[in-house]
Structure 1
């Protein structure tokens, strides 16, 4: 049925363990070459770590599946070296509209603040996301991939994890110091280990139809409650790459999934929707059709000794809000730098406990928002539906009602304000960049060339130091900033100033527009310690090397 995409066939090669008749060993093995597994493996490999990635298939995911990728996810992909290929191919959008019946009752803008590089969201079929990530992985010699390699047994140990792998050439054995599990919502590894996953399955079904058509609808998210073309149910419309449109139709729990997927049942629904938008004669072709139920649940712990769970293997949410893949990629972003430090002997294994703490907090936040969205979209009682419809009726006129409309609170990065890795503020600051906050982007210049703040940050600990003139920093401060890079876990000092260049070989970012100063509430001497995953670890109104080292120790569990 595919009209617009040719599925790649990744090469299978006979594993050397079979030829040599002995087990192989890798420091890190990642299971699952979906978006989260690929991101994790790429992140580790670009930091210099040898990684083996295993997947039981030899192509990308079938059908568009995940569609919406949030600004924070795009910034993570930038950080792991994926350049512009996602945004160039995807459909960028910021505006979402919600309709009740025939009228619009609510709209929102995901990017109310200007001067950011990335849009609030892009829509891109998951097969493209995976293909582009595989292309990036091919650029990293320390990342080794094996397709058609199905993990059939996992045996955790105190020092190593042993895996049995089945291939077209037969089985073989691998061992690893650390196993990252990214094998999806049904997670065979989770089942092999008998680990729990608790939550709620929602008693409703939705039809996904990917439709190829040329339409003049704007690149916005449209969500209908009880439209005339699909009464008493909801419909969602998104534009994707290649003139592919994603349409979700609520079906109800009693719907027969097999019957609903048949073209003779799908096509009339689409024609009715197009007719309501004035396009009854518009031609279209079906590309991919699926029926899904959804659930909100997570594991009690994401870390089990040397076995670490990420993405859907650890937590699942309903699709409303685009919190699945976005949250999983942020799992990878959180885990990789911590695992690298532990493997290098620069941080204790307890640092990995903070991965569970921070990302289970994020998962709970996603589960709460996703459950609330699902309850609003699919009310399970007459009273709930009456309340929902009353809110929608009032939302067109009254701001208080608009705040109650919930057609899917869209993915946002987690603010890790309560993380034990943060150093609490001892000085007064205004604005949002508190310890635990994800960094805001801003335009800057390097050696007179325009660039972006987040393109200059990440992948290591850094100290952001602000002054009015970088060329006037006194020698003692320059020496203190430069010395931070000679610590066992080096901190790169980055000077931000509206003018001048710092000495001592320090990187200087020119804040010609004052955007960094405003967003980070900077004054001369203001200093931020930044984590490798572009979160704030600590901040002060003056530079003090001892305080920076203490905050680094806290952020790496070395305190």
Structure 2
């Protein structure tokens, strides 16, 4: 383990009264740390309570998407992630020994970040903690307490009371808001007696992180019915930093997990896949596919974020990336509510938007799982037919599903969206969509969208009197025109703090913009 925030006594433990904190995050994993950083950068006093003292071991989450990297850029730690990570855009799919096809996840230029990086979760957490320390030095009101385990939670109308266990005994806290980021086994969820409904798929997968020097290309490689079949029914290979390679083997449901985790058994599988390779076992684990979620992510002043709220199968990299988008969605809303700039009902839109996104992720994840691990004879016949046809026929390749890779949700139908007033505008920048990046002179568009709401004026001057930060580009470049204007010679966008589109027009008045802003902050319905 990397000890990032070792236990130390705090003044709250010796206080004669119950200490109060505006926002308490339970869990110091990537989602809890990102959310605490986001809130702290907005001036919200935030306390993180973690039952350990830092990052764990092993790859666990490794594939971090372009959208996650853009969120990390906004928080100020994206460069560190990309500099350490293994950058990739290309994936290859094999059936047996034959390559079926390959795909490029970022075929167009003009984006600051790649489609994905591979970076072990402990590094991801380490860079978040480093950025939190920088933010604290700059005045951000964030605190992390290691070996502070929440053992009791009393939900109240105006917040919650918490009992916290430490090596020196328990103490009590109160909070206005509690943010449960404590993982798929969420003790918070269990303590409140809340359900976690969905499907557990009857199959098992072995993860092996191995250290070796190899000249394999930097790409995602997936095998259906691999030629090293005795090693598993499917296999996945990813390169990580520090000459660590992540291998996933499909090993079936009725297996002896203890036996499968013995080093000699794992080595036998790897030796079949990589005959003659010189490697060292670094970390191993077994997991099953699960697609589940809570019925609601909000329970009064307790909000569930990341794996505590939902869980999907690892193929597709939708777990940590979906959780980062949860934090991105919630951070600005909670800050506005706590600072009196928006009504508390704005928090309900977190539930609306992220349940919509979660259901989309679960659908994709379930379809991937059904394709990778067919559970009926007819499903296997279909899967195998698609794979055979895909070797020679382009039409069949879209049906091959080795894990549809994570993409950010477009919040179509969100109550925060204004009606689209840019007729036939680019679909990728419609209300609810995350802002497509594009190059500007000396940088990129998303570099300018790291504060609050922003008004983006393309081919025109923004109307005065809105009180909003404005980015005016009278002569947009080709990428901006393609991604934001389409066939229009001008466009005006209202962009949310999480870099999603709230509204767009060909032209608009200050009153139009104010009305859209009120809707996007929940004030119109208050």
Q: TM-score range by the shorter chain?
A: over 0.9
1:528 — aligned with what? Answer: 493
Q: Which residues in structure 2 correspond to 1:7-406 (within 5 Å)?
A: 7-141=2-136, 142-231=141-230, 233-275=233-275, 280=276, 282-406=277-401
Distance 2:366 2:180 in 1: 25
Q: TM-score, with normalisation over the residues of structure 2?
A: 0.96
Distance 1:234 1:543 in 2: 54
Unaligned runs of 5+ residues in structure 2 are none
1:463 — aligned with what? Answer: 455
1:3 — aligned with what? Answer: none
Contact 1:458 1:531 in 2 (8 A): no
Q: TM-score, with normalisation over the residues of structure 1?
A: 0.91
Distance 1:120 1:17 in 2: 44
Contact 1:230 1:269 in 2 (8 A): no
- Which structure 1 residue ranges, 4+ long, deviate > 4 Å from structure 2? 522-525
Report deviation, 1:525: 4.6
Distance 2:84 2:129 in 1: 16
Report deviation, 1:387: 1.4
Report deviation, 1:81: 1.1
2:479 — aligned with what? Answer: 515
Contact 2:456 2:494 in 1 (8 A): yes
Distance 2:161 2:2 in 1: 32
SS where residue 239 of structure 1 aligns? strand
Distance 1:526 1:385 in 2: 49
Distance 2:491 2:281 in 1: 56
1:434 — aligned with what? Answer: 430
Report deviation, 1:390: 1.1
1:496 — aligned with what? Answer: 473
Report deviation, 1:519: 1.3
Contact 2:70 2:78 in 1 (8 A): no
Aligned length in residues: 517
| Residues 225-271 of structure 1: per-residue CA shift (max 9 Å, x gap) | 11121257000000001010000000000111111111100111111
1:505 — aligned with what? Answer: none
Contact 2:422 2:491 in 1 (8 A): no
SS where residue 352 of structure 1 aligns? helix
Distance 1:273 1:514 in 2: 46
Distance 2:128 2:157 in 1: 32
Contact 1:465 1:543 in 2 (8 A): no
Distance 2:478 2:396 in 1: 37
Q: Using a 3 Å threshold, how does the CA distance of structure 1 residues 404 and 38 change in structure 2: closer, same or farther?
A: same
SS where residue 516 of structure 1 aligns? helix
Contact 1:337 1:459 in 2 (8 A): no
SS where residue 533 of structure 1 aligns? coil
Distance 2:127 2:274 in 1: 32
Q: CA RMSD in A?
A: 1.3
Report deviation, 1:401: 1.4
SS where residue 287 of structure 2 aligns? strand
